[in-house]
Amino acid sequence: MARGNERGGGDRRDRNRGNPADDRADSDIVEKLVHINRVAATVKGGRRFSFAALMIVGDQKGRVGFGHGKAREVPEAIRKATEEAKKSMIRVPLRESRTLHHDGNGRWGAGKVMVRAAPPGTGVIAGGPMRAVLETLGVQDVVGKSVGSSNPYNMVRATFEALKAQASPRQVAAKRGKKVSDVIGRRSDGASAESTVAADAEG
């Protein structure tokens, strides 16, 4: 009987270990806490306090997401926000795996942001929530500017609106039924050729 119990305990421990592939997938994701706020709800007995967290997650290879969670304790709020962020991840095409394909603007409420592609060696020139989003996305050279509200929720959403508008030359060529070389070859300067492609696609 003793040996049977020992085997049963060993089986339970093996089942609780989980799938190693899932662990590797989670280890590739970078998590950043952007903002945490204490909120209060007025109830019959007084005020009940809880915490709201805003998290950014990404694989630094072109995928990024954000989420917010609320709970009575900070760790639980962060866990909820992280789970929501992983479910809402989007893919953004990157040029040479280091910068954006073209300039873009985003707006959410009173939050307005501008992002611009940059040459190698520029680095991430952005601050606050914008910097967290761009670094988690995996952008190495970019210039970002916030010209509206400093509310972190609006800034993050506006930044995601700007990133969703990004289009690679391959996507634009497929949409217009042309070859990539035909789309890019309109301008002689390679740095701004793809910006013209995106502008033509939006028009």
pTM more than 0.75: no
Structure tokens at 61: 């290879």
Q: How many Å apart are CA 196 and CA 96, to the nearest integer?
A: 18
pLDDT band at 27 (very low <50, low <70, confident <90, very high): low
Query: Is the separation of the CB atoms in 148 and 101 below 8 Å?
Result: no
Question: What is the rounded average pLDDT of the residues 139-157?
Answer: 89
Q: Are 122 and 95 in contact (CB under 8 A)?
A: no
Q: Average pLDDT in the 111-117 region?
A: 89
pLDDT at position 83: 93
pLDDT digits (tens, 9 = 90+) for 164-183: 888 777 777 777 777 766 66
- Cβ-proximal residues to 17 (8 Å cutoff; 6+ apart), any chain: none
Tokens of 180: 């990539």
Question: Is pLDDT at 80 greater than 60 in this prediction?
Answer: yes
Mean pLDDT score of the chain, rounded to an integer? 78
CA angle 104, 105, 108 (to 5 degrees): 145
Q: Which residues contact 172 (CB under 8 A, 6 or more apart)?
A: 183, 197, 198, 200, 201
Give pLDDT tens digits for 32-52.
Answer: 999 999 999 898 888 999 999
Q: What is the mean pLDDT of residues 43-72?
A: 91
pLDDT at residue 76 is higher than 50: yes
